[in-house]
Structure 1
Amino acid sequence: MICINKVTLYGRLGADPEVRNFQNGGQVCNLRLATSETWKDKQTGEQKERTEWHAIAIFNEHLIKVAQERCRKGYRIYVEGKKETRDWQDQNGNDRQSVEIVLRGFDGQLIVMEDKTPRSKPDNYGGPDVNTQGDYQVNQDYYEDPPF
């Protein structure tokens, strides 16, 4: 039997990334992501909206760096990770559970869809350039005819 634990989300950040350091030298970056859906109520004709909030925990060093440098509150991001439930105790000793989307190792993905971070030079090695509005511009040299 094959089992798959994969979550794909596209939404807006509710806060700037929060990075915490562990005593063993590791790091975690926590993100709060909002996904919304809208519909028209059939009976009243009124526009309705529902927002779900998701806790994202990033343990991959490269993705933590991307989140720190490129993610800000309100930015649209695309996330792929695994759903994990974590048991913990609050300050009063009560048992609690948290559901998180976890990105660790090579099985997580973070794409910043709205990056307003200015760059001194392109870091894409000749591929499509991304301007400060997050729109793609084609680098014509990249698509030049091959010399053969």
Structure 2
Amino acid sequence: MAGINKVILVGNLGKDPEVRHLEGGNSVAHFTLATNEYYKDKQGARVERTEWHNISAWRGLAELAEKFLKKGSQVYVEGKLRTRQYQDKDQQTRYVTEIIAEEISLLGGRPGGGTNGTGSATGSANGADENVSLRQEPELDQLPF
């Protein structure tokens, strides 16, 4: 049986996505996502712990993230963990662990207007926000058959 590498997060964006357009027409978006957990310490006081996650979205998902995601937005992110290494300016090996997004859903709607759920904004008459779900389709060379 093959291994499973699946991450599911619900949190808030720490900043607007930073999008780069690469050679060959590909795009990549990077943003941080904060998740919070709460627990009680030994004295019974409620403690909040925030964990920050680095998220990368590629190709069409990056372009849609650029269009719809804003700092503070609450989102659902589904993807896989990836660790990469690089050499810093002092030639030290550094490691970065990030989530490669395969699906992003905007929870609670988009600030400033509703959406129709297909990745394009609509001017809803009643101002009600609807959810936006963005999904990265697999590349043909990634299909298991």
- Report TM bin, short chain: 0.7 to 0.9
- Listed as ranges, the gaps of 5+ residues in structure 2 are 119-123, 132-145
Q: Secondary structure at the match of 2:23?
A: coil
Compute the RMSD of aligned alpha carbons: 2.4
Q: Which structure's CA Rg is the greater one? A: 1
Instruction: Please state if 1:32 is matched with 2:32.
Output: yes
Check if 1:86 corresponds to 2:79.
no
Q: TM-score, normalised by structure 1?
A: 0.74
Query: In structure 2, how many angstroms separate the alpha carbons of the residues matched to 1:123 and 1:98?
Result: 32
- Structure 1 unaligned runs (5+)? 137-148
Task: Give how far 1:65 is off.
Answer: 2.4
> Deviation above 3 Å: which 4+ runs of structure 1?
121-124, 131-136
Give yes or no for the alignment of 1:13 onto 2:13.
Answer: yes
Q: For residues 17 and 8 of structure 1, do their structure 2 counterparts lie closer, same or farther at Cα, with a shift above 3 Å needed? A: same
In structure 1, what is the Cα distance between the partners aligned to 2:40 and 2:127?
35
- Count of residue correspondences: 125
Q: How far apart in 1 are the matches of 2:127 and 2:53?
A: 27
* Residues 1-148 of structure 1: pairs in structure 2 closer than 5 A: 1-41=1-41, 43-61=42-60, 63-103=61-101, 108-114=102-108, 115-118=110-113, 122=116, 132=127, 134=129
Deviations 1:20-71 (A, max 9, x none): 1223332110010001101122x3121101111100010131x222211111
Cα 1:94–1:24 shift into 2, 3 Å: farther
Q: 1:38 to 1:123 in 2, by over 3 A?
A: closer
The answer to whether the Cα contact below 8 Å between 2:84 and 2:96 also exists between their aligned partners in 1 is: yes
Per the TM alignment, residue 134 of structure 1 is displaced from its structure 2 partner at its CA by 3.4
Identity, in percent, stands at 38
Asked if 2 retains the 8 angstrom alpha-carbon contact of 1:113 and 1:134, the reply is no
